[in-house]
Amino acid sequence: MSPLGITVRDGAVIVGPDHQVSEVGPDGLVGQLTPDGLPADPVPPVTLVVSGGLLAWPWDVGPDGLDPDATLTRPPVVVLEDVASAQEWLWALYGRDAALAAADAAAPPHTAAPTNAAVAPVVDCAPGLEWLPAAAARFAFGTWLSAWWPASTTDGIPALDPAVLRAELDPLGARLDLLFDGAGPPLPAVVTLWRPASDRYALAAGPAGDGPAAAVGVSVSTGVCGTWWSDLPPGWVDASDRAVSWRLLQDLDHWWLQVRAAAGPVVVATEARLVADTPGRRVELGPDSDAFGRCWLGEATGTEPGPAPGRVRLYLPGFAPENRAVRSAEHWHESVRALARTRLAAASTPSDPTADTRLSGPGPAVTDPWQAERTAATDDDY
């Protein structure tokens, strides 16, 4: 099968497809972070935490955008901090040669001459359990979808039901026991989903609400923007890049900033608070609903005049750092949306029986539609 490279970086042993291992940064990150802690390569890779380390499948981009088949059928890059624990499964996922090479990289026999880490040894990938790589990739892909699925009423992308997804992930996770050292697979939480009770649809980017200020102030400026997805837990805010709207009002002495964000599919506790930041101004938002549907609403007022916000940054304090630069995310968000639309289209048609990425025995292939996607694709509410 494909050749694997092995190298060591700041306390970690890294194994994976040769060309990807040579791209791993000096601190063992698969894909680099910029100085403010944001990823330089914005589409988050598919990842899986396993005993002793972390598996990562960096995205392969084909002519049609993100390519799950190419991405998930190649061996993952593994970053090992505890090679001894990982010996329990390295042989099964990558083969005996890779397991031996990883052990050597962590502690070469004392008789051997020091290896030069710049030249990664290359071994063949020959999984000891043939079904394991595909099962691990499918499980990791399921958890990736639960984190990054761009559910949005504005964009017409229906939510995946976490309970349906979990029902499919649970038995798959149980099969992967070997990778998790009996600690249980890292399953996504099942959270409550809100469903429209009638035919009244939520409009995402309605105008910011008619607070008391609306009566007295003069509207100075308004705007619409999206969120940086990693600032918020999945499903809290509509994933559209037009989900957030704001309005700045001003009279002689005061300003009022009103911010509204369309709610995502997840039901949150009433005490949950988001923060909308813009230079010199900060607005706290709570879950609410208005004439346009479920939303997050908040308003702040002050006397110091300031510039009109060009964009606001919406985040959950504690979930994301307070002072992160606001960046445009439209490009990579759009590529994830395109993937979601392709998958929904595929999920509404019967699966292709000739797919060549079968797991051993009966069962879905690595990138086959999930039941949650089929349910979402046929949901009449959208």
Partner 1 sequence: MIDSAWRRLGPGLEPLSAPDGGPLSRTVKLVLLPLVLRPSLHRELAAAVLEETGVTVVEQLMAAHRHQLRATAAWFALLVRHLATHPAKDQISRDSCYPKAFELAVRHGDLAALAAGDPHPAADATATAALDEIAETRGEWTAAALRNALADPHLRSRLSHRLTAGWDESPAVDPAPEELFEDACRSFLDSFGFPGETEDVDQARPRAEPAWTTIVDAGVGSRTGRALRADRWPTVLPEPARARQLGLTELARPARPALDGPAPARCPWDRSIAARVLGLLQHSSDRTVLPDLVDLLTEEVDRACQPWEVLTETSRALLVVGTLLVTGLPDPDHHTRAHRIVAGMCRRESWLAWAQRQPTSPPGPARDDGPIAPYLRRLWVRLHGAETRGTLPRGTEEIQSLLLGVFRSVLLDGRSRVRTALTRLHGEPDAGVVSGGPANPSQGARR
Name 376's Cβ contacts closer than 8 Å, sequence gap at least 6: 158, 159, 160, 161, 344, 347, 382
Q: Which is nearer to partner 1, 198 or 303 (CB)?
A: 198
* Angle separating helix axes 132-148 and 162-175, nearest 10 degrees: 160
Residue 296 CB, shortest distance to partner 1, in Å, is: 13
Q: Which is nearer to partner 1, 351 or 360 (CB)?
A: 360
Q: Which is nearer to partner 1, 52 or 75 (CB)?
A: 52
Residue with token string 């291992």: 21
Alpha-carbon distance 78 to 366, whole Å? 19
Residue 252 CB, shortest distance to partner 1, in Å, is: 37
Residue 80 CB, shortest distance to partner 1, in Å, is: 11
Q: Are 371 and 168 in contact (CB under 8 A)?
A: yes
Q: What DSSP character marks residue 378? A: T
Residue 58 CB, shortest distance to partner 1, in Å, is: 10
Q: Which is nearer to partner 1, 260 or 294 (CB)?
A: 294
Q: Are 132 and 92 in contact (CB under 8 A)?
A: yes
Q: Which is nearer to partner 1, 67 or 97 (CB)?
A: 97
Q: Which is nearer to partner 1, 151 or 224 (CB)?
A: 151
Residue 11 CB, shortest distance to partner 1, in Å, is: 3
Residue 326 CB, shortest distance to partner 1, in Å, is: 16
3-state secondary structure of 130: coil
Q: Which is nearer to partner 1, 193 or 203 (CB)?
A: 193
Residue 349 CB, shortest distance to partner 1, in Å, is: 26
Cα–Cα distance list, 255 to 205, 251, 301, 307 (Å): 22, 7, 6, 11
Q: Which is nearer to partner 1, 104 or 334 (CB)?
A: 104
Name 151's Cβ contacts closer than 8 Å, sequence gap at least 6: 157, 158, 159, 160, 235, 238, 239, 264, 265
Give the residues across from 218 on adjacent strands.
Answer: 250
Structure tokens at 256: 């009022």
Residue 188 CB, shortest distance to partner 1, in Å, is: 7
Q: Which is nearer to partner 1, 191 or 346 (CB)?
A: 191
CA-wise closest residue to 317 among 231, 235, 203: 231
Please state whether 280 falls in left (phi above 0), alpha (psi between -120 and 50) or beta.
left
Exposure of 279 in the CB half-sphere (CA atoms within 13 A)? 9
Residue 54 CB, shortest distance to partner 1, in Å, is: 6
User: What is the signed CA dihedral for 95, 140, 51, 179, rounded to 10 degrees?
Assistant: -50
Q: Position 230: which residue type?
A: S
